[in-house]
Structure 1
Amino acid sequence: EFGDPDDPETPNAWFNLKTINYSAKLNLYTSSNWKTSIGVSGMYQTNENKAEEVLIPEYNLFDVGAFVFTQYHKDKTTFSGGIRFDNRHIDSKELIEGTDVKFDAFTKNFADVAGSAGLSYEATKALTLKLNLARGFRAPNLAELASNGAHEGTIRYEIGDHNLKAENSLQIDGGFEMSSDHVSFSAAAFYNHINNFIFYRKVLSSSGGDSTLIDPDTGALLTVFKFNQQTANLYGTELSLDIHPHPLDWLHFENTFSFTRAQFSETIDGTKNVPFIPAAQFITALKGNFLSNGRFVRNLYLGIESDYTFKHTHPFTGYNTETATSDYWLVDITAGTDIVRRNKTLFSIHLSALNIGDVAYQNHLSRLKYAAVNNVTGRQGVFNMGRNFGIKLNVPLDFKWN
């Protein structure tokens, strides 16, 4: 990535990242009811910094994991379960800029066991019940462990902590699915307890305001963030309703509602709310499919979608990290079809009109929400895209080799 448009041949940021992934799996079919798999997977990764701007250090990383998974099915009951062991080894290299140490050298090993067990029961032809229990594990990534630089994409300066521990979690979730010829409904809920949950927060100055730095390359004012850990509890639900009434089998009326809430086990600077949690959302879509066997025009569809995102009233206000986010309502329209000749698709065309109300809105998960005030509009932060139109043309190519 170049930093000077007058000198595009000189990179400003260049992470020479090389990754080798590997995996091997053996499927064991011991009986008609049992299906079992065992295997290993992982990766080897190296990073070299070949430009002046450096956000993370050079490093070597090696992941190895071994797992076994089994599934049992009989009559109306399906049981599945698995266990996996993972180990991550990281060698991070020192970097000295002038007389200052930008990155300390360190070596880390993270190892733990994850597993899950799930049960599905077909109570009736129309009703299926599900229950799952899982233990999770996640090693911190290099950005969380060792960042020390300007992250231009988020307009902030990030500081990692190589003393971070691996996250581990215990989750229970359950739900049910009901379906008939014309209506489908599903509901699910989860609760997740996470130890050593990794999150970011602002760093405050000695005066109590935001700690800021000036990017020496761009002159931009960057807010300083650092990574911390704390025990967190997350819970939420998702509801889905799909109506396709008879005799209007071509019509689909789909509705989805999702909600997630997260809190720390202890108060952090006056709040227990966890950062970077999405707001509740309700999506409704009405779609019609026509001409499935048309002579020249086939698979025509028309759709309209309503996306209402609720106001986010539980931001992580500790250290002035987050603020509440207003609700917004978006409406999208889509259409498309296949053009056919002699029973062969010549091309497909898809049209879209997104955010047709040209609503000015910000997603709570957008880090650009906290950018500086726009002098033209007088509003703080970068807003999401307004009204926009799109057209996509797909042309299938069929090559025959003699």
Structure 2
Amino acid sequence: MFTGVSGSLGATYNFSDKFSLKANLARGFRAPNISEISANGVHPGTNIYQLGNPDFKPEFSMQEDIGLVFSSRYVVATLDLFNNIISNYIYNQKLVTAAGVDSMDGSGDTYFRYVASKAQLYGGEFSIDIHPVKTLHFENSFSLVYGTNKGSQPKSLGDSAKYLPFIPPAHGLSELRYEFSSKPRRLSHAFIKLQLEYSAAQNRVMRAYNTETPTAGYTLFNAGVGGRLSDKKGKTIVNIYLMGNNLFNVAYYDHLSRLKYFYFSPTDTNPTHGIYNMGRNVSLKLDFPLDFVLKSDKRSAPDGAE
């Protein structure tokens, strides 16, 4: 049985109607899940042989975060920074043989084992929405997380084990969106948007034990259009959305994708043979709202009947 106490204490100070500062101190608790404790077999979705650890203790964290918010008629901006120290941080680590090569079972599945260590996660997120007119929005967001292994590591590993594995790289999203409607209100909540999604290269990786490899950065271009069609009485007929993601069909790996390390056979040792993330994808969504009432048949029972 695992026990722990969680709680937080925060405060907000408003410098003006447009500008405010907030701060928070929190203690968190997480019990290891059933997979982290008892896994012992091949994970069919990741092509790895997963091993758990029944001796795990709960994770405890102490986090400080601070945020700034600015809101005006034409601009809304936020900045959030955090620092989190975690004891017994559980993560997945590849196993290697005494010869330094990947440890595999008879079917060629690589062994991974959950391990725990003291860790530090820190970073932040910035977002800004610029809307010079009510119908036009230029939204931007950027997030960054660093993960450092604070536990004891063999000196022979050097810097190859100081980073926590599978930490997402710096990521940003820029969207230009125009919202409109027709004068008779037959078309409402309509929009057209262009979107640029970019991910930086991730080189702060745990190279020790061949746990992970660096991942190149990439940029994706997305676009979409949609809106609501109504009848003369203003009742919604259909909501229509046409969305396109990765329109230039960029071949890329998400750093957190397990399929990046997929080998097609036990003799395949080329990591570039992994499976890329989804290419060009265009989707059409039609949403027809249903509005009806089921009337019950209330017939009176004969006298004396129950």
TM-score, normalised with respect to structure 2: 0.90
Q: Equivalences for 1:274-313 in 2 at 5 Å?
A: 274-291=164-181, 294-313=184-203
Q: Is the Cα–Cα contact under 8 Å of residues 262 and 271 in structure 2 kept in the other structure?
A: no
Instruction: Give the Cα separation in 2 of the matches to 1:382 and 1:353.
Output: 21
Instruction: Give the Cα separation in 1 of the matches to 2:110 and 2:15.
Output: 55
Q: Give the length in aligned residue pairs.
A: 286
Please list the CA deviations of residues 60-97 of structure 1 after superposition, one character each: whole Å capped at 9, or x if unmatched. Answer: xxxxxxxxxxxxxxxxxxxxxxxxxxxxxxxxxxxxxx
Q: Does residue 330 in structure 1 map to residue 220 in structure 2?
A: yes
Q: CA deviation at 1:373?
A: 5.6
Amino acid at match of 2:245: L
Change (3 A) 1:118 1:378: closer
Amino acid at match of 2:201: K
Q: Is the Cα–Cα contact under 8 Å of residues 260 and 271 in structure 2 kept in the other structure?
A: no
* Seq. identity, %: 39
- What residue in structure 2 maps to residue 25 of structure 1? none
Instruction: Give the Cα separation in 2 of the matches to 1:213 and 1:254.
Output: 48
Amino acid at match of 1:232: A
Q: Equivalences for 1:26-37 in 2 at 5 Å?
A: none
Q: Does residue 395 in structure 1 map to residue 288 in structure 2?
A: yes
- What residue in structure 2 maps to residue 102 of structure 1? none
Q: Does residue 349 in structure 1 map to residue 240 in structure 2?
A: yes
Q: Equivalences for 1:243-262 in 2 at 5 Å?
A: 243-245=130-132, 248-262=133-147
Q: Does residue 114 in structure 1 map to residue 2 in structure 2?
A: no
Q: CA deviation at 1:265?
A: 1.1
Instruction: Give the Cα separation in 2 of the matches to 1:180 and 1:205.
Output: 59
Amino acid at match of 2:226: G
- What residue in structure 1 maps to residue 35 of structure 2? 143
Q: Is the Cα–Cα contact under 8 Å of residues 46 and 259 in structure 2 kept in the other structure?
A: yes
- Of residues 123, 130, 138, the one that matches 1:236 is 123
Amino acid at match of 1:253: F
Change (3 A) 1:178 1:378: closer
Q: What SS does the corresponding residue of 2:98 show, helix, strand or coil?
A: coil
Amino acid at match of 1:193: I
Please list the CA deviations of residues 347-390 of structure 1 after superposition, one character each: whole Å capped at 9, or x if unmatched. Answer: 01100111011000000011111111699x99421100001110
TM-score, normalised with respect to structure 1: 0.69
Q: What SS does the corresponding residue of 2:263 show, helix, strand or coil?
A: coil
- What residue in structure 2 maps to residue 160 of structure 1? 52
Gaps of 5+ in 2: 296-306
Instruction: Give the Cα separation in 2 of the matches to 1:267 and 1:330.
Output: 39
- What residue in structure 2 maps to residue 385 of structure 1? 278
Higher RCO (C-alpha 8 Å, min separation 6): 2
Q: CA deviation at 1:266?
A: 3.5
RMSD: 1.7
Q: Is the Cα–Cα contact under 8 Å of residues 292 and 299 in structure 1 kept in the other structure?
A: no
- What residue in structure 2 maps to residue 49 of structure 1? none
Q: Which of the two has greater strand per residue?
A: 1
Q: Does residue 210 in structure 1 map to residue 97 in structure 2?
A: no
Q: Is the Cα–Cα contact under 8 Å of residues 129 and 176 in structure 1 kept in the other structure?
A: yes
Q: Equivalences for 1:39-188 in 2 at 5 Å?
A: 109-188=1-80
Please list the CA deviations of residues 160-217 of structure 1 after superposition, one character each: whole Å capped at 9, or x if unmatched. Answer: 01001100010000011001001011101000000010011011112210001134xx
- What residue in structure 2 maps to residue 198 of structure 1? 90
Change (3 A) 1:201 1:309: same
Q: Is the Cα–Cα contact under 8 Å of residues 91 and 116 in structure 2 kept in the other structure?
A: yes
Q: What SS does the corresponding residue of 1:181 show, helix, strand or coil?
A: coil
Q: CA deviation at 1:395?
A: 0.3
Q: What SS does the corresponding residue of 1:368 show, helix, strand or coil?
A: helix
Instruction: Give the Cα separation in 2 of the matches to 1:378 and 1:337.
Output: 44
Q: Is the Cα–Cα contact under 8 Å of residues 353 and 388 in structure 1 kept in the other structure?
A: yes
Change (3 A) 1:230 1:209: same
Gaps of 5+ in 1: 1-108, 216-220
Q: What SS does the corresponding residue of 1:211 show, helix, strand or coil?
A: coil
Amino acid at match of 1:326: A
Change (3 A) 1:321 1:398: same
Q: CA deviation at 1:139?
A: 0.5
Q: What SS does the corresponding residue of 2:273 show, helix, strand or coil?
A: coil
Instruction: Give the Cα separation in 2 of the matches to 1:292 and 1:281.
Output: 36
Amino acid at match of 2:143: S
Q: What SS does the corresponding residue of 2:209 show, helix, strand or coil?
A: helix
Q: Is the Cα–Cα contact under 8 Å of residues 189 and 227 in structure 2 kept in the other structure?
A: yes
Q: CA deviation at 1:293?
A: 5.5
